[in-house]
Amino acid sequence: MIAPPPRRPPLARRQRATIYVAVLSTTLIVAIIGLAAVLGARLLQRSTALAQNAALADMQALATLDRCLLRLVNDTTWRTRYAHDTWTAAGSVDGAATSFKLVDELDGNLANDPNQPVRLYAQAAVGESRRLYSVQLRPRAPRNLLLNADMELGLSNWSGSGCQLESVIDDVHGGTRALYVRSRSSPSSGPRQVLTTTLQNGAPYRFEIWVKMDSGPRNVQLVLEVTGSESGTTWFTSNAAPVPAAWTFISTTLTPTWSGTLQSAAVYVLTTGYNTSFRIDDTSLTNADPRRTLIVVPGTLRREVLP
């Protein structure tokens, strides 16, 4: 017996089923597209926020370098105040948490030598973004305020106060010439140089010189003379230092003060007696204020790899 063929649903029912499936498929596609759009928008928003945070962290890390350099320049105790390779909070700026540290790359000790360079690190964190920069700082070589300080130009810029000066080549400390001081009439007789650079009222100045007595030892004093419009002339004098008949280095720090405007300034080299002649060479007068000594070493700025 042959089985009858299967019965097919009516055409209308098949068409409705097809339409239903198509509608469901379209709805699903639309839903997926909508979800993708939402996720894309969220990812874009997050990516934009991360980029903004990264840019802000980068900017604030560099700004922290500048602020910390200014802090160090105005803090004469920074070498003892801060510990080597130790982070210090630098505050929050525009939502960025900042900090810095100082590293002595030579011996790991900030306080043992004021002439050593130091590397300054600064970092800033904004959200999940963090940036770290560093730069090397070194003491600035102070400018010598004395002209013809090494006596290589003979008597130029030097004069004798109650004495005679000679430019000599037979017995010098450095270079080819020295200044010979003779025929002194009193203890206050000696070589003198008028300063062409205006001093700063109340600032410390380092006075250094090499001296050799014809016979000795004799006590030598370094003097800084200033004249103020209201205070008159004042002499700031070092303690007496014994100098033998051999080249001897002596130095002192003098802090001149005056009232009114500074009218003139000069340096002298004197002795407590006047019955001997002497030689001087390789002199210097520099501003000794440590706040003026830090500068950025060119070419040392770098962005650090984050740990």
| Burial 248-280, CB ≥16 within 10 A → b, else e | bebebebebebeeebeebbbbbbbeebebbbbb
- d(C-alpha 101, C-alpha 97), whole Å: 14
Banded model confidence at residue 204, pLDDT cuts 50, 70, 90: very high
Question: For the chain, how big is the Rg over CA atoms in Å?
Answer: 39
Q: Which CATH architecture best describes the domain 159-287?
A: Sandwich (2.60)
- d(C-alpha 185, C-alpha 162), whole Å: 6
Are 262 and 153 in contact by the 8 Å Cβ rule? The answer is no
Banded model confidence at residue 73, pLDDT cuts 50, 70, 90: confident
Distances (CA, A) of 257 to 114, 226, 231, 260: 26, 8, 9, 10
pLDDT reading at 1 higher than 60: no
**pLDDT-wise least confident of 56-65, 270-279, 284-293:** 284-293
| Burial 196-233, CB ≥16 within 10 A → b, else e | eeebeeeeebebbbbbbbeebebbbbbbbbbbbeeeee
Q: Please report the pLDDT score of residue 64 as a whole number.
A: 95
- Tokens matching residue 240: 């007496």
Query: What percent of the chain is modeled with pLDDT above 90?
Result: 63
Greater model confidence, 61 or 51: 61
Banded model confidence at residue 116, pLDDT cuts 50, 70, 90: confident
Q: Please report the pLDDT score of residue 127 as a whole number.
A: 87
Q: Please report the pLDDT score of residue 6 as a whole number.
A: 61
Q: How high is the mean pLDDT of the chain?
A: 88
**pLDDT-wise least confident of 38-47, 122-131, 190-199, 271-280:** 38-47
Banded model confidence at residue 95, pLDDT cuts 50, 70, 90: confident
- Tokens matching residue 154: 């003979």
pLDDT reading at 190 higher than 70: yes
pLDDT tens-place string over residues 232-286 = 999 999 999 999 999 999 999 999 999 999 999 999 999 988 778 999 999 999 9
**pLDDT-wise least confident of 47-51, 97-101, 256-260:** 47-51
Full-model pTM: 0.60
Greater model confidence, 265 or 36: 265
pLDDT reading at 176 higher than 60: yes
pLDDT reading at 72 higher than 70: yes
Banded model confidence at residue 104, pLDDT cuts 50, 70, 90: very high
Mean pLDDT of 14-21: 65
Q: Please report the pLDDT score of residue 82 as a whole number.
A: 95
Q: Please report the pLDDT score of residue 142 as a whole number.
A: 83
